[in-house]
Chains A and B, each alone.
Chain A
Amino acid sequence: MIEVQRVTKRYGPVAAVNDVSFRVEAGQILGFLGPNGAGKTTTMRVLTGYMPPTDGKAIIAGYDVFEQPIEAKRRTGYLPETPPLYPDMTVREYLFFVAQIKGIASGERVRRVEYAMGRTSVDHMQDRHCGKLSKGYRQRVGLAQAILHNPEVLILDEPTAGLDPKQIIETRELIKELAGDHTIILSTHILPEVAQTCERVVIISKGRVVAEDTPTNLTSRLRGSETIQLQVDSNGVDPKPVLQSIAGVAQVTVSEQGQDGRTVEIQVAEGVDIRRDVANTIVSNGWGLLEMKPMRLSLEDIFLQLTTEENEGAATNNDGATPVESEPEVQKTEQGSNHD
């Protein structure tokens, strides 16, 4: 339904999007994930025909966005990062104008406008000027505008940005409901959102796709290197050599003796469950096992891991790392100094 083929977009020498390819099947919701400035908005703008790519192709419902822009645009609903509202129009006037330029037949307009307002629950605001709406309502009117002409494809750029928690939940529900009738791409930098709403995830960093999979697969793919965190009271003995000798243990990190024993982190080799062995070893040594918890990689860790790896690779030619990406590096160095 949506196909992006090796799309590159350069602004002068800088490539905002570099050789990005992915596809979305009909009826799917694809989450487009990346730190700020990763190229999400640029990719979406290319897809909607707002700007042409420097290289590559975007195909919407079988129409090349640049060969047959009118046909492709007829089938696309787009909610940009800032909802494109005219402040001096009322919600109703605005939606009628959008209905006109989207080419909805004049007999259909009233019905479509009513439908879109009902779906996004803005009907009670229909006589309010767009300029006087709260952020949440602007976003909803933006969404109403996007679904107005019943497009096959919906492209939503950060649809929940700036909403309060209740509105975020409502918007996510709405998007999920819409997925049946529309193929949806939604971009976000909020990870739980992807886990909750999307069937597939494309993670983009520095203009390149670094991962593409389902949220569950992505989580399990990296679970191989699972970590177990222990709280051990080893009576003043260093438990490291003993724990290290257990089969399946890749690496052991032990902190100094504290009030509550030592904190031990065990990295486990891929696909082995060593929790019983660890517990037995500790007990048989006469130590106290105070706590044991597996530390699963959340989508967030995966995201940071992927975007950081990319960041390290590119670090030599680019110092301008965004805060989001530089954070894990800091954590790593802290951990490293703990080891020593």
Chain B
Amino acid sequence: MINIFSIAQKEIRSYFVSPIAYVVIGLFAVLYGYFYVASLTILVRFSAQVGMFGGGGPQAININEFMIRPLLSNSAIILLFFLPFLTARAYAEEKRSGTIELLLTSPLTDTEIILGKFLGAFTLFLAMLSVTTVHMGILFWYGEPELGPILSGYLGLILMGGSFISVGLLVSSTTRNQIVAGVVTFSILLLFWVLSWIADSVGPTTSAILSYLSILEHFDDFSKGVIDTAHVSYYLSFITFALFLTAKSVDTERWRG
């Protein structure tokens, strides 16, 4: 357990002493800020229109439904682009620089190393996400959004981010090239994201399977304020499975040398 934290600490440190953490968090803040302003402008115009046509004034518009939900979906998309590049280096860089030899010849288990790396990337992801609490705070200051759907939305984002990170670790463990790791991770995640798009044009069984596998489908309910254990367990099993495969991949790499 202590070993997991040692590795996680090392990972976090390397994110923060390199420009990675600052670039990722900074640009995430910029993009998120833009989405925030954009959806706020739309909300304001929309509520003015509604007010003009006598729909009961601006207050009648549900800020959760019209602003926070789309905002959370948008930040999920930013994560889809950002997280693959956060995890790309996790194993690839250790293999390229040879430091993997230090880790694998130290009294650590593979599981400890993997969980440590996961925890490290996950912590940076949480730091990234914590930027958005400022924007949410402003909404609470000036408006009266419902807290419930926001919290469930964040839970969804956190679970989804965890899944992205676990796939990133898996891919990174198979290569020593960070760019390859980043691009492959992104492609896999994007594929999982859009898996349900063809669900309408295939048979009912395939359709059900595809929708079930799609990362996006499971996120929808969270942003609506529904915490369904089916969705929670989907993400948790997704993460566990990807990390399990990472352990297998590290072990295989070992045998192949």
Do A102 and B106 touch across chains, with their CB atoms under 8 A apart? Answer: yes
Give bound CA distance, A173 to B82, whole Å: 50
Task: Judge whether B18 and A88 touch: CB under 8 Å.
Answer: yes
Residue from B10, B18, B104 within 8 A of A97 (CB atoms)? B10
- Complex: how many Å from CA A101 to CA B8? 11
**B3 close to chain A: CB less than 8 A:** yes
8 Å CB contacts to A: which residues of B93-119?
Answer: 97-109
Contact partner, A73, options B2, B100, B105, B257, Cβ 8 Å: B105
Please give, as numbers and ranges, the residues of chain B lying within 8 Å of A11 by CB-CB distance.
256-257
Instruction: Please tell me if B17 contacts chain A, counting CB pairs below 8 Å.
Output: yes
**Interface size classification for chain A:** 35 or more
Listed stretches A42-50, A220-228, A301-309, A312-320; interface member = A42-50
Cα separation A51 to B17 with both chains bound (whole Å): 31
Are the CB atoms of A50 and B13 closer together than 8 Å? no
- Is A8 in contact with chain B by the CB < 8 A criterion? no
Q: Is A82 an interface residue (CB 8 A)?
A: yes
- State whether the Cβ of A183 lies closer than 8 Å to any Cβ in chain B: no
Indicate which residue in A71, A84, A88, A101 contacts B98 across the interface (CB closer than 8 Å): A84
Contact B108 A101 (CB under 8 A): yes
Q: Tell whether A74 pairs with B104 under 8 Å between CB atoms, given A85-B99, A97-B6, A101-B6.
A: no
Q: Which chain B residues numbered 69 to 103 have a C-beta less than 8 Å away from chain A? A: 97-103
Other-chain contact of A84, B7, B14, B97, B254 (Cβ < 8 Å): B97
Q: B1-34 vs A: 1/0 string, CB under 8 Å?
A: 0110011001001100110000000000000000
B257 touching A9 by the CB < 8 A rule?
yes
Q: Are A49 and B104 in contact (CB under 8 A)?
A: yes
CA distance A175 to B24 in the complex (A): 45
Is the CB of A78 closer than 8 A to any CB of chain B?
yes
How many angstroms from the CA of A76 to the CA of B108 in the assembled complex? 13
CB neighbours of A93 from chain B (8 A): 13
Q: Do residues B254 and A101 form an inter-chain contact, with CB atoms below 8 A?
A: no
For A52, list chain B residues within 8 Å (CB).
254-255
Chain A residues numbered 62-112 whose CB sits less than 8 Å from any CB in chain B: 69-71, 73-74, 76, 78, 80-89, 93, 97-98, 100-103
Closest to A129 in B: B17
Most buried by A among B7, B13, B99: B99
Are the CB atoms of A103 and B107 closer together than 8 Å?
yes
Contact assessment for A45 and B7 in the assembled complex, using a CB-CB cutoff below 8 Å:
no
Find out whether the CB atom of B104 lies under 8 angstroms from the CB atom of A101. Answer: no
The complex places the Cα of A45 from the Cα of B10 at a distance, in Å, of 24
Query: Could you say which of A83, A86, A102 contacts B107, with CB atoms under 8 Å apart?
Result: A102
Q: Which residues of B contact A42 (CB under 8 A)?
A: 257
Q: Which residues of A contact B6 (CB under 8 A)?
A: 97, 100-101
Q: Name, among A49, A51, A70, the residue most crowded by chain B CB atoms within 10 Å (CB to CB).
A: A51
Which B residues are CB-close (under 8 A) to A97? 6, 10
Q: Are B13 and A101 in contact (CB under 8 A)?
A: no
**How far, in angstroms, from A42 to B255 measured CA to CA in the complex?**
12
Flag if B255 contacts A51 (CB, 8 Å). yes
Q: How far, in whole Å, are A37 and B6 apart by their CA atoms in the complex?
A: 35
Closest to A42 in B: B257
A78 touches B18 (CB 8 A): no
* Of A48, A74, A84, A100, most B-chain CB atoms within 10 Å: A84
What residue of chain B has the Cβ atom nearest to residue A106's Cβ? B2
The reply to whether the CB of A145 lies closer than 8 angstroms to some CB of chain B is yes
CA distance A101 to B254 in the complex (A): 19
Chain B residues within 8 Å of A103, by CB: 3, 107
Which A132-157 residues sit within 8 Å CB-CB of chain B? 145
A16 to B255, CA, bound (A): 13
Q: Which of B10, B102, B107 has the most CB of A within 10 A?
A: B102
Q: Which residues of B contact A89 (CB under 8 A)?
A: 13-14, 17
Contacts of B106 in A (CB 8 A): 73, 98, 101-102
**Which residue from A9, A69, A78, A100 sits with its C-beta under 8 Å from B101?**
A78
Please indicate the chain B residues that have their CB under 8 angstroms from the CB of A82 in the complex. Answer: 97-98
| A55 CB to nearest B CB, Å | 13
Known contacts: A50-B101, A84-B97, A84-B102. The answer to whether A45 contacts B257 by CB under 8 A is yes
> Which of A70, A85, A98, A101 has the most chain B CB within a 10 Å cutoff?
A101
Nearest-neighbour CB distance to chain A for B113, whole angstroms, equals: 9
Chain A neighbourhood of B99, CB < 8 A:
84-86
Assembly CA distance A16 to B257 (angstroms) = 11
| Residues of chain B with a CB closer than 8 A to A70's CB | 107, 109
Asked whether A76 lies within 8 Å of B105 as measured between CB atoms, the reply is: yes
9 contacts between A and B (CB under 8 A): A16-B257, A50-B104, A80-B98, A80-B101, A82-B98, A84-B98, A84-B101, A86-B10, A89-B17
Interface residue ranges, B against A (CB under 8 Å): 2-3, 6-7, 10, 13-14, 17-18, 97-109, 254-257
Closest 8 CB pairs of A and B: A84-B102, A100-B6, A84-B99, A73-B107, A48-B105, A82-B98, A80-B101, A101-B106
Given contacts A69-B107, A84-B102, 6 further A-B contacts (CB under 8 A): A49-B105, A50-B105, A73-B106, A80-B101, A86-B10, A101-B106
